[in-house]
Chains A and B, each alone.
Chain A
Amino acid sequence: MAENPSGLVVESFKLTKIYQNRQIALNDVTLRLEPGCVLGLLGPNGAGKTTLLRLILGLHRPTAGWVKLFGKIMSPNAAASRRRIGYIPTNPQFPAGMTPITYLDYMARLFGLPLEVRKPRLASLIRAVDLLNVSGDPIAGFSNGMTSRLAVATSLINEPDLLIWDEPTHGLDPEARRSMLELIKSLAKEKTLIVSSHNLSDIDEVCNHAAVLSRGHLIYFGSLQDLKGRMRRNHYELDLDGDQKNIAKAAGAIKGLNDFKSVQVRQRRLELRMADDVNNSSALANLFMTLADNKVTLVSIRSVGQQTEQAFLDLVEKEESRGFARAYQQQSEAA
């Protein structure tokens, strides 16, 4: 597009936010988000996720650096850029006394949508999020699931190109959570999304990119596959079949192998932790041979720990263990 030569949806450069010279909320965040990305924003509490989202939305002004949306610098007065965003805050609040119809109409007017556009659209959205039978009721009496659905409708009223959803599955029951994830998946086919969540399995399911923040610093930005690739795969569980004596004998033989630092047998389940420096393929090959030699059948094998979660925890742990070394590394990266 001529108005956006870079073609990027979101671009930030050395984005830094310091609150009143007291708290460094975000430090030197540089990222580039292409159209079609579904970015999962991860990080512990206080990592700076919401600050980053608020800077992208122009609700906060950066202390240093900049953020561009669709090629234009974002600022509190950049209403035109915000017309292309659909936002859901963590705990959406609604004005007292409004109904879904009046609230959506208000939001649509805030986007400057003319009457002949906003009325049919809000009606379609109310139907789509299954609030038709309560469309005239005050929002104050709505359940968490209903307010979440209304927030989804609000974020779609302007047909945005970019969706920013902060904790969209927060407080939802399993059924509502499943619907929300399915909705994100279908929206991801045509829109760019930034989804912030504490629930790593949600991110794992719907996102193709991840950004990990730790204490205001972006410690990872890239594809979710690459993030999983960084994970230490050293913890396995095996379900076995065969004579209990044979299983115990096989476990004893496995303990004798140098590949494993911990071997535990519970009934017919074997839990293994590999030594850090071994190749897991050859170690698993030795393991299978040992089981076969002892006439033990392998029923199933699985890597323990949710993959994205493990990779995320590894990253945060690694970042925190770097100590002062990170200062040197940052300088050398800058040079």
Chain B
Amino acid sequence: MDTPALPKAYKINRFLPYWAVFQADLKQNLRSWLFRAWVFLSLAAAFGYMLYRYGAKQVGFIQPASTLISELLTYVVLGTVTIILMLTGGTICSERGTMADSVLSRGISRFQYFFGKWHARLAAILGSYLVMSIIVMVSAYCLLHGESLSLWGAAVAILAVGAILAVVITIGVTLSALVNTTMVSIAIGWMLVNASCFLLSMLPDNYPTPDRMLKNLPNILRGMFDLTMMSRFIGISLGVSLAVALVGMVLFARRDV
């Protein structure tokens, strides 16, 4: 009766469960209608606005590419924060119950599951944002007055906006791990992001806050920015993102599913 288990003749790949969740969530996200709508609407709005500016250029108005790109990046942050929260707010809580059972009852830890989901959403949203930004930037450079655009400045601007989006994505995924329903997760996330922005705007002028960074985008795109300040802004954003994720991961590991 008490027979010892036979040793398995293969080595378990401990990284594989994380990778499986990452791939499955990435595919699921890329197939979702909300994600596709976000990408389509963002590109449609960007090209519509760019054509309008191109028309103005054709009749003789000066249309710096840096101005157009800064406006579009600001739109990405301000206009799509709610959509990004919707894309991330149901990451984990929407699978609570039977679907989570079939995954979390297997050989995967809660940490791996959280990391897999979080990284998949970061990859899907930030990857799409990066591709869209590059397409828009190249188009604006070619169609408008591209001499106002600095390559180094463009890279820093994309990174800075990406850092803000990373914080929003992380907040959404973390909340989805801590609450029971997607709607509650989105509502709390929306309030948290807006309240944080409001509180940050009250800091002294020498602090790099998201609203100041967005206002300064045209200058950043022209290559006129303080590198230390921008590095600090990106570093703090990524640090906040990591801290929020760690809190979410630890609390998720203590929850019932």
Contacts and interface: CB of A to CB of B under 8 A. Distances in A.
Given A34-B1, A59-B257, A76-B109, A110 B103 contact: yes
Interface in B1-44: 1-5, 8, 10-17, 19-21, 24, 28, 31
Interface stretch (B70-78, B94-102, B200-208, B223-231): B94-102
B99 A109 contact: no
Given A59-B104, A112-B107, A92 B98 contact: yes
B106 A110 contact: yes
Contact of A89 (B2, B16, B102, B111): B102
- Where chain A touches its partner, the secondary structure class is loop
A114 B253 contact: no
Contacts of A111: 12, 17, 106-107
B49 to A, nearest CB: 35
A95 B99 contact: yes
Given A35-B1, A59-B104, A113 B12 contact: yes
B256 A61 contact: yes
Contact of B12 (A91, A95, A112): A112
A7 B4 CA distance: 9
Contacts of A158: 106-107
Interface residues of A, number: 42
A107 B108 CA distance: 10
A34 B2 CA distance: 8
A84 interface: yes
A139 B159 CA distance: 41
A35 B2 contact: yes
A288 interface: no
A304 interface: no
Contacts of B103: 110
Contacts of B10: 113-114, 116-117
A112 B102 CA distance: 15
A129 interface: no
Contacts of A34: 1-2
A110 B108 contact: yes
A272 to B, nearest CB: 41
A92 B98 CA distance: 7
A106 B12 contact: no
Given A89-B98, A110-B106, A36 B1 contact: yes
Contact of A110 (B2, B107, B110, B257): B107
A77 B12 contact: no
Contacts of B102: 89, 92-94, 107, 154
Contacts of B108: 79, 82, 110
B185 interface: no
B254 A82 contact: no
Nearest to B6: A159
A316 B243 CA distance: 50
B2 A7 contact: yes
A77 B110 contact: yes
B114 to A, nearest CB: 11
A242 B16 CA distance: 74
Nearest to B98: A93
A83 interface: yes
A107 B101 CA distance: 12
Nearest to A92: B102
Contacts of A78: 109
B251 to A, nearest CB: 11
B105 A59 contact: yes
Nearest to A97: B31
A106 B25 CA distance: 12
A78 to B, nearest CB: 8
B11 A77 contact: no
Nearest to B110: A76
A79 B19 CA distance: 15
A110 B20 contact: yes
A100 to B, nearest CB: 14
Contacts of B4: 1
Interface string B96-133: 00111111111111111000000000000000000000
A14 to B, nearest CB: 19
A152 interface: no
A255 interface: no
A60 interface: yes
B109 A77 contact: yes
Interface string A66-89: 000000000011111011110101
Given A35-B2, A89-B102, A112 B17 contact: yes
Interface of A: 1, 7, 19, 34-36, 54, 57, 59-61, 76-80, 82-85, 87, 89, 91-95, 97, 106-107, 109-114, 116-117, 154, 158-159, 161
**Closest A-B pairs by Cβ, 6 of them:** A109-B20, A83-B107, A110-B106, A112-B12, A93-B98, A111-B107
Given A60-B256, A78-B109, 17 more contacts: A1-B4, A59-B100, A60-B257, A61-B256, A76-B109, A76-B253, A76-B254, A77-B110, A80-B107, A87-B106, A94-B102, A97-B31, A110-B16, A112-B14, A112-B17, A114-B16, A159-B8
